Amino acid sequence: MVFFMLHNVSAQHTNSVFAKIIPEEESIAVQQHYLYVNQSEDPLEEIWFYDWNNSYSSKRTPLSKRFSEEFNRGLHLARQRDRGSTDIISIVAKNYKGLKWEYAKEEDLFKVILPEALAPGDSIKIHFTYNLKLPDTRFSGYGYKDNGELYLKDWYFSPLAYRDGWHKYSNKNLDDLYTEQTAESEVQVIFPKQLYLNSNYKLGSESEFPQGKQVILKEKGVLNCELFLTLENNFTTHLTPKLRVVSDIEAKKYNSPEQGASIIRIADFLEEYLGEYPHDHLLVSEMDYNRYPLYGINQLPSFVRPYEARFQYEMKFLKTALRTYLRETIHMDPRADKWVFDGLTNYLMIRFVEEHYPDQKWLGKLSKVWGFRSFNLAKMGFNDQYNLLHMLSVRSNLDQALSTPNDSLIKLNQKIASGYKAGLGLAYVADYIGKDKVEASIQEFVRERKGLPISSAKDYERILRKVSDKDLDWFFTEYVQTRKKIDYRIKKVEQGEDSIRVTLKNKRGTPVPISLFGLQGDSVVSKYWFSGFDSVKRFSIPKKGEERLVLNYNKVIPEFNQRDNWKSLGGFLSSNKKIRFQFFKDTENPYYNQFFYVPIANYNIYDGITPGIRLYNKTFLERQFRFDIAPTYSFLERTLVGGGGFSYRKYHGKSGLFVSNYSIGGGTSHFQTNSRYTTITPSVSFGWRPGDLISNKRQFLNARWRNVFRNIDPAIANEIDTDPDYSVFNVRYINRDNDIINFKSMELDFQYSRDFTKVSFEWEFRRLFQNNRQINLRLYAGKFLRNQTNSDFFSFALDRPTDYLFDLDYLGRSEATGLVSQQIIIAEGGFKSRFEDAFANDWLVATNGSFNLWRWIELYGDLGFASDNPGGTRFIYDSGVRLNLVTDYFELYFPLYSNLGWEIAQPDYGTRIRFIVTVSPKTLTGLFTRKWF
């Protein structure tokens, strides 16, 4: 093989790859020739290449870190044979001269050091020889499957994009590799004969021989070659008048001819809005859809999906086709300019529904079913979901600017909310300047930038500004570049003989245009657009028979709060919102004061199962003021129990102090038979977080005044050696990094009451090491500054706190025997063995530790010192086996040896086993939703 330097021959790169798949090793032997042309204005002394296959090779890569941030330990715990890795054998250039190279610390990027600087316009041909050990598909969907199938994307070496410097983007499972476009690419693949190959590249030739098959694939201007090697050929080629489509997307109860008709409809739509596809065919894969599906109601199991088969198939196909079409046509920075791809994709999906399914409801057939149809959610059009799901992020103070890089978005925004905001933004602009202008901008943008090696968001901004006859500074400066909220309201309406004077208030100060509609009944009789202003402004409009004035009636503008967007012209009483009581939670209806109710049931061994009704005002979206009242009935005690509260939550900035909570709440239940406790607690709390929202670091400060009132059964009154009623002022500070690999938490607690003052410190650390060993450490230290109590009710507990603040979810808080008495909640001393002298009324220092022997089987050990006054100091220890099935949610502890001796040899051993169990639905739900937020 001859390698040589080329000077000023070509202005574009070329790439040739020869790949032999070795199934028994789950690897690929690769020889690659890359002609790199310096298209920059700078001389280059090195060229950087992607090796994203190597991002699976260790636990230190950005990919592994990304998974851990989303509470996924799969890659961290993976066996070496399941990981991906790359073995670079040689990198040579002219005359077989070897080139020096070295990996970056991220391990999925490497640089080739050139023998001499590559001048602008010059080129060099580099030959790579390397072996790819493919990862298991369970990590990201790419790699090999146990049955021998392979799905490959971004698998061979590609140069990093050079735009005033190298864009060093590591693999973070975001499908946003930013590489240079090649003028011509050829990929030769040898693979087992039992497999079928499909690709986004054009099939050049195919041959079969005893050892397998060889296929030559070619394409121009495509960034990377995707390969699907499957045991069955699930891909079908659809020839339409506009486009050749290869797809494996199927739909139950929707046959092939009907699918073909839908694909023709979608191909015509793509042609109309995006023009001719510049490549041989469009690959629309089920795998691509699964990575970016239609979220929301579409995530339900197939047997309850409420859509007609045609609609469901077309929306699924359209979303995947749009993403692929734009990615393979416009070569932009997918990490920095993600919002443009998202905006175009979601805007065109909105337009497709408007054109072909204008009456489609988000709940589909369920919107007509008794029990669902009364919900405001059932009245929502399919396109209303974009605003709802975007607001899910906004109302939780988790939204991020559209210009935020793709790898800095939290998962909720990266997958759903930011893309929906981008699509809504273009729909907003279309309503403001005209749909024809926005669609003309899309067509011109794709036509102008199609096939060019460099495009950016600035190119689309330039074109959109050009077609608009109105100022769009607000869109690019306020809507795209910031996370400022939009919120207007009608402050005042005055009627004249032939005109109406309307005073509008901009509640958030974000100066963007606002629309005003005049309604007569349910019909729109007038519509006006007002340019943005930042405070209060008065406008005069002619009378046209309006009965109501409504801001943003068509809900095109993603407003923070639409509940104050209307005014009736029929007098004061007609402007008052009616009250609506509704079963179960719903979306917001701006024309009603909504109250929701739902049956509930709680449990503890004293009250038994306590059914009741929960009354609350929280919709699917966060609200600042909330109330939640839940009276229940105790069948065992034959009385009412339950609780409730009122709270006001104020969100602040993105980082630093981001939330304040002010609340008063209370509850009542039984702590023993015929013995009731009642709590009333006013509180205030503050939360801090870093600017990087992906980080799981949080800080909280809470101050509360817990008031406890107890009615005690006379039969046990002599057993209660404290006053039945007491109050405790409590201040607690928490600093936590809830990382699944490296968990750290620190807590300071101060309590003041009439009879005591105490402080405590708790530190917890969990670390999952490179060898998959995990260590868990906890330190607790508490001290009474003043203690005038006559019992251990308020003392520090070794293994089972009395929980006088009623914070802990005990199934039976007063039980000394029986199964529920074996429940343990790791608090205060955290010992697992049960000691007779289990309290300390002066100070307590305890450490708890464990490490795993194999996966979730661990050895634990606790030791500490407890001091009584009088009584002196004593040393306590215990040890045993921990089954850490789901940390903090479901664990079992089997004591072995402690101050009590060999507990495992004692006859009542079954009563010594302790358990942690979480039965709260809200807590359990958080286990599955935490990765999104």
Residues in the chain: 933
Domain shared by 47 and 191, yes or no? yes
User: 338-356 vs 457-467: helix axis angle to the nearest 10?
Assistant: 50
* DSSP track, 724-759: S-EEEEEEEEEEEE--SSEEEEEEEEEEEESSEEEE
826 within domain boundaries:
yes
Nearest to 181 by CA among 227, 138, 219: 219
Segment 78-99 shows an average pLDDT of: 92
511 is written with which tokens? 């100066």
What's the pLDDT at 583? 87
Q: How confident is the model at residue 644 (pLDDT cuts 50, 70, 90)?
A: very high
First to last CA, the chain: 53
Domain shared by 388 and 414, yes or no? yes
The total number of structural domains that make up the chain = 5
What's the pLDDT at 11? 61
What's the pLDDT at 1? 34
406 within domain boundaries:
yes
For 905-922, what is each residue's pLDDT tens digit?
A: 998 899 999 998 876 655
Domain shared by 38 and 171, yes or no? yes
For 9-35, what is each residue's pLDDT tens digit?
A: 346 899 999 999 999 999 999 999 999
Instruction: State the pairing for strand pair 282-284/244-247.
Output: parallel
What's the pLDDT at 569? 86
pLDDT of residue 144 exceeding 90, the answer is: yes
Question: Of the residues 172, 200, 232, which one is the last residue of a structural domain?
Answer: 232
Contact 734, 805 (CB under 8 A): no
What's the pLDDT at 211? 82
Domain shared by 32 and 50, yes or no? yes
Segment 889-904 shows an average pLDDT of: 93
Segment 57-78 shows an average pLDDT of: 90
CA dihedral 382, 386, 389, 392 (to 10 degrees): -130
| Residue given tokens 């090697």 in the structure block | 229
222 within domain boundaries:
yes
- Within 10 Å of residue 56's Cβ, how many Cβ atoms? 27
Domain shared by 350 and 460, yes or no? yes
Provide the β-strand partners of residue 778: 764, 848
pLDDT of residue 930 exceeding 90, the answer is: no
Domain shared by 789 and 917, yes or no? yes
353 is written with which tokens? 């529904």
25 within domain boundaries:
yes
Segment 515-530 shows an average pLDDT of: 93
For 784-803, what is each residue's pLDDT tens digit?
A: 999 999 889 999 999 999 99
674 within domain boundaries:
no
Question: Computed over its alpha carbons, how large is the radius of gyration of the chain?
Answer: 33
pTM over 0.85: yes
Q: Please tell me the number of Cα atoms within 13 Å of 596 on its side-chain side.
A: 19
What are the helix (H) ranges across 22-146? 62-69, 74-77
% of the chain residues with pLDDT over 90: 71
Domain shared by 296 and 318, yes or no? yes
What's the pLDDT at 5? 35
- Long-range CB pairs of 459-467 (<8 Å, 24+ gap) are 460/340, 464/429, 464/438, 466/441, 467/433, 467/437, 467/438, 467/440, 467/441
Phi and psi angles of residue 419, each rounded to the nearest 5 degrees, phi first: -65, -40
The CATH number for 120's domain is 2.60.40.1730
What's the pLDDT at 925? 60
430 is written with which tokens? 């279309």
What's the pLDDT at 6? 34
Provide the β-strand partners of residue 751: 730, 758
What's the pLDDT at 769? 82
Domain shared by 432 and 547, yes or no? no
What's the pLDDT at 302? 65
What's the pLDDT at 726? 94
The CATH number for 534's domain is 2.60.40.10
pLDDT of residue 7 exceeding 50, the answer is: no
Segment 557-576 shows an average pLDDT of: 81
Question: Of the residues 572, 593, 625, which one is the last residue of a structural domain?
Answer: 572
Domain shared by 812 and 908, yes or no? yes
Domain shared by 133 and 61, yes or no? yes
615 within domain boundaries:
no
699 within domain boundaries:
no
pLDDT of residue 2 exceeding 80, the answer is: no
* DSSP track, 650-705: EE--SSEEEEEEEEEEEEEEEEETTEEEEEEEEEEEEEEE-S-TTS-EEEEEEEEE
Domain shared by 322 and 368, yes or no? no
pLDDT of residue 563 exceeding 90, the answer is: no
Q: How confident is the model at residue 383 (pLDDT cuts 50, 70, 90)?
A: very high
What's the rounded Cα separation, in Å, for the pair 556 and 417? 15
Return the HEC string of 19-39: EEEEHHHCEEEEEEEEEEECC
Q: Which of the pair, 216 or 655, is modelled with greater confidence?
A: 216
640 within domain boundaries:
no
Which residues lie closer than 8 Å to 666 by C-beta, 6 or more apart? 643, 644, 645, 678, 679, 680, 681
Query: The domain containing residue 355 runs over which residues?
Result: 338-479
Domain shared by 320 and 461, yes or no? no
What's the pLDDT at 442? 97
Q: How confident is the model at residue 4 (pLDDT cuts 50, 70, 90)?
A: very low
Question: Of the residues 508, 542, 572, which one is the last residue of a structural domain?
Answer: 572
